Structure 1
Amino acid sequence: MNKLDLENRVAVVTGGAQGIGRAVAEQLTGHGAQVVIWDRDISLARRCAETIGPNCLAIEVDQADWNQVSQAGRQTLAKTGKVDILVANAGVAGSNGVVWEYDPQEWRRIMAINLDGPFHCCKALLPSMIERNYGRIVTVASIAGKEGNPNAAAYSASKAGVIALTKSLGKETADRNIAVNCVTPAAARTAIFDQMSQEHIDYMLSKIPRSRFLEPAEAASMIAWLCTEENSFTTGAVFDLSGGRATY
């Protein structure tokens, strides 16, 4: 792992208890940052934080609930004094199915977690970044948000929304020392696969020219650099982690 300079930085990683989020939390602490994991599974998040070490702590939060996110923001700032970095990673796959048979309640649930959630987290933490004129935000969308996966319209649409949110926010903060960027991973074999049918998993693999799934540590390496002070010009951009799948 190349060494990045994140000394004296404080990062919030949503969904940091497992998968890509955990890999990000591990890498950021390895580069010197203090990490606060925001996760709705607080037992798993605390175990993860204890394993990572003393520079990592966990706070329970359901990012779909604005009141919980707002409270978590205040709690984090009270504990750490500042937040320099937000990695908005938490999300769900939801159930698979065609649009005309899809449960509207399930659609709303996926949108609340995957799209409202990153909006809530940015809204809660940006004021302190603006006040200090420094911040790095990385949202985790998906290649599905660019290409649209069949039988996953809700997930795809929510991740397309994350891309647009990132681009808008990047423009809104471009006159400050704040960088807001997005990564669009191909599928990684994490716990999110438990929410998908085997048919859908096979479909995703068939679309990746590298013929394998993304490793969480590979995603974390790109995300970590986007969190550094060196990333001083790029904002409102989308970085693919698609193994060659992305066509634009």
Structure 2
Amino acid sequence: MTFTITDLSGRIAAITGAGQGVGREVALHFAKSGAKAVIVNDFYAERANAVVQEIEALGLGTRAVAAVFDVTRLDDVKTALAEAAQAAGGPIDILVNNAGNAGVNPDPDARKHFWEVGEAAWDSFIRVNFYGVINCTAAVVPGMIEQNAGRIITIISDAGRVGEPNLEIYSGAKAGAAGFMRGAAKALARHNITANCVAIAATATPAISARMEANPDAKKKMLSHYVVRRMGEPTDIANMVLFLASGASSWITGQTYPVNGGYSFNL
């Protein structure tokens, strides 16, 4: 019998924004690591259902459940995750806050400098990347406290660590999510619940890949800032998330781990 420190046998995981990109890869990683069930969230049902079908096609016995909701709506989050947990066969053991960007209907001015726009554009980033993390975490924490165990992992961005022009509000929202996770780590440690962040840089998700392939010069310029001169792949991120979700990370909490090809360094 082979032993692996990242075995998720018997665990139920929920991943937000898992219909594509990093979230999809995390869902597949969890299924391949023996998770009892994986709850796949997206606000597009067809994307969530497609990943559910991918997991089922692996034939590994992991139950896959689609959960269609917008992370910015607390009541919807609580209802949908409760129903999904029931369908999955138990309380949620692992939450991955992956949903990001500017939400379902992003304001067209969201990527302009913050002083050139107003609250509607700011909210595009704040509601998903900050309130979305709070909402989903609030929905699962009572169940984790009851079972005295849990893992919470939030995907942030290096923008939240070092700041990015034209993405000032996004940077602030991601930094806010990291601060929230540090506070949650201190509040929840007594219940054997850990809370950590993974900070990512340019990753070859469908949207970013399309943008880069359309502008090779911009891609070359961007990669010049990376020590490892390639874009990240969703699997690069999923590997770290799997580690933080597993028993191998039981003495790690309140931390932010950059997975960024050396775009920025951390002490």
The normalised TM-score by structure 1 is 0.92
Are 1:55 and 2:63 counterparts? yes
Are 1:69 and 2:71 counterparts? no
- Secondary structure at 1:8's aligned position in 2? coil
Match of 2:90 in 1: 81
Match of 2:59 in 1: none
Contact 1:10 1:85 in 2 (8 A): yes
- Secondary structure at 1:234's aligned position in 2? coil
Cα deviation for residue 240 of structure 1 reads 0.8
AA partner of residue 180 (structure 2): L
AA partner of residue 157 (structure 2): S
Match of 2:236 among 218, 221, 226: 218
Q: For 2:68 and 2:12, how far apart are their aligned partners in 1?
A: 17
Contact 1:92 1:192 in 2 (8 A): no
Q: For 1:227 and 1:158, how far apart are their aligned partners in 2?
A: 23
How many residues are treated as equivalent by the alignment? 247
Are 1:90 and 2:93 counterparts? no
Map 1:24-63 → 2, pairs under 5 A? 24-33=26-35, 34-53=37-56, 55-63=63-71
Q: For 2:161 and 2:188, how far apart are their aligned partners in 1?
A: 23
Q: Tell me the alpha carbon deviations over residues 111-150 of structure 1, each in whole angstroms, 9 at most, x when there is no partner.
A: 1111100100000000000000000110000111000011
Contact 2:66 2:84 in 1 (8 A): no
- Secondary structure at 2:230's aligned position in 1? coil
Alignment CA distance shift 1:108-1:195 (3 Å): farther
- Secondary structure at 2:191's aligned position in 1? coil
Alignment CA distance shift 1:28-1:107 (3 Å): same
Cα deviation for residue 200 of structure 1 reads 7.8
Contact 1:11 1:83 in 2 (8 A): yes
CA radius of gyration, larger in: 2
Alignment CA distance shift 1:201-1:175 (3 Å): farther
AA partner of residue 130 (structure 1): I
Q: For 2:178 and 2:117, how far apart are their aligned partners in 1?
A: 23
Q: For 2:264 and 2:209, how far apart are their aligned partners in 1?
A: 24
* Unaligned segments of structure 2, at least 5 residues: 57-61
Are 1:116 and 2:131 counterparts? yes
Match of 2:12 in 1: 10
Cα deviation for residue 202 of structure 1 reads 6.4
Alignment CA distance shift 1:203-1:140 (3 Å): farther
